[in-house]
Amino acid sequence: MNNAMTIAKRELASYFASPVAYVFLVIFLVLTGFFTFMMGNFFARNDASLLSFFVWHPWLYMLLVPAVGMRLWSEEQRMGTLELLFTMPITPAQAIWGKFIAGWIFLGVALLLTLPMVFTVYYLGEPDGGPMLTGYLGSFLMAGCYLAISGMTSALTRNQVISFITSVVICLLLVLAGYPPVTNILLKWGAPNALVEFAAGLSVVFHFESMQRGVLDIRDLIYFLSLIAFAIFTTGVVLKSKRS
């Protein structure tokens, strides 16, 4: 664990040593503000909640998180430092977790910078703090899922553009899985109800929506954590195959 945290500290420092990190933070804050207040009609809703803020996160993360994760392993492969990294006294699992934790903390910092949204809601009304707390937790977990998937695609190729596009497509499928047009297509194809429900259950939106409403269901937590674990496990398998 100490080795993983050492790598995490090094990676996190490299994020903030680059102007790209600050550009990302500015873009994230500008887009969240635009979608919340302009597209989400924050003031017109006359609702003391952050629903108009959280509803856009699956779509924003779909484009922004792969931009963070695409370099995790593609850059190491392109620079030829992947082999050097694994000659150090660390295991592939420690390296993978270290890089993932650093990226997840960076995304957490971006999310924390949106806290003025919370202060705005409390200034304008008397909101229920529970849904906002679980909404932030769900948003953070969803960002971790997207990041783990982006790390997985980054391990598959040394080309960052290919990694970015692949992870965006996978995240898009996870977003669309529970939408009625998709489930209706499955029903038209004669898929059994169990399969349709399973496909809907794969959607990040399905699990995130309940957390937006303040419902903290253990099944939602298991979904997000399992998706993270699966993507990181797959990343380890891919990197071990490249190492051998």
Model pLDDT, residue 45? 73
Distance CA(163)–CA(151), nearest Å, equals: 9
List the single range of 55-69, 101-115, 193-207, 211-225 with lowest mean pLDDT.
193-207
pLDDT bracket for residue 151 (50, 70, 90): very high
Distance CA(102)–CA(118), nearest Å, equals: 25
Residue 157 CA: distances (Å) to CA of 49, 70, 99, 127: 42, 10, 17, 46
The yes-or-no verdict on residue 5 having pLDDT over 90 is no
Q: What is the mean pLDDT of residues 123-131?
A: 82
Task: Enumerate the domain spans of the chain.
Answer: 2-243
Distance CA(100)–CA(225), nearest Å, equals: 13
- For all residues of the chain together, what is the average pLDDT? 86
CB 74 within 8 A of CB 163: yes
Residue that has been written with the tokens 């429900």 in this structure: 197
